[in-house]
Structure 1
């Protein structure tokens, strides 16, 4: 039985593959930030005349804030900048359909390619 020799990819196509992957990773990380889907929350829970107690800080935390040079007023925006997680059933269902659809596609494509490699290596024995 002859040893399987996979097809070789030209160097130019390897460079194009690498460039495509780098761009895809950059866009996948940058686009959610640009669209406002990730990153810092847009609303700060305001507290008038903040104190360490109203900000929910214990004495240990207060000590660290003061070592960093913050007082309740300057630390207010940092402490109150909280993520407000919201979701709805439609978004959840769309995500589930996309993920399940991707895995169905992945398994079918992998099965097809697996069968092609087996047929190439061992011949069609159906």
Structure 2
């Protein structure tokens, strides 16, 4: 009779390292577009302040009050208000993203298959080949 299978347990330090690694990856993936964006050419602040008003930006008194609560004046708010969202897809970035996701998926499947085979071998011993043939 085969002994009961006890899966390996990851130590607390390993879990901490894994969590920190994933946190750094998420942070970098969120920060990367900001770091890779080309800097906008800003006009002189004094010149921009002279030409911009809340009325020219199409802001009513309620909107103006909210901008001021956030600490913006008309010149500071202008780039935020006038910049339109760019929904253009960069093909190179899309391809890299797809390759990373597919690569990670293949990696997880390979590792899972190895671990699955290891569990079958440990749990069922001599019936291993028969069971693995059924799953293929």
Corresponding residue to 1:60 among 59, 62, 65: 62
Q: Structure 2 unaligned runs (5+)?
A: 131-136
For structure 1, the residue ranges without an aligned partner over 5 or more in a row are: none
Paired position in structure 1 for 2:109: 107
Higher relative CO (Cα under 8 Å, sequence separation at least 6) belongs to 2
What's the TM-score, normalizing by structure 2? 0.58
1:84–1:45 CA distance, 2 compared to 1 (3 A): farther
Which residue does the alignment assign to 1:43? 40
- Equivalent pairs counted in the alignment come to 120
Structure 2 partner of 1:2: 3
Alignment of 1:1-126 (within 5 A): 1-7=2-8, 14-15=12-13, 18-19=16-17, 21-22=19-20, 25-26=23-24, 29=27, 33=31, 37-38=33-34, 42-43=39-40, 48=48, 49-66=51-68, 70-76=72-78, 79=81, 87-123=89-125, 124-126=128-130
* TM superposition shift of 1:107: 1.0
What secondary structure does 1:55 align onto?
A: coil
Change (3 A) 1:90 1:67: closer
Compare the two structures and name the one with the higher helix fraction.
Answer: 2
RMSD value over aligned CA atoms? 3.7
- Alignment TM-score, normalising by the size of structure 1: 0.61
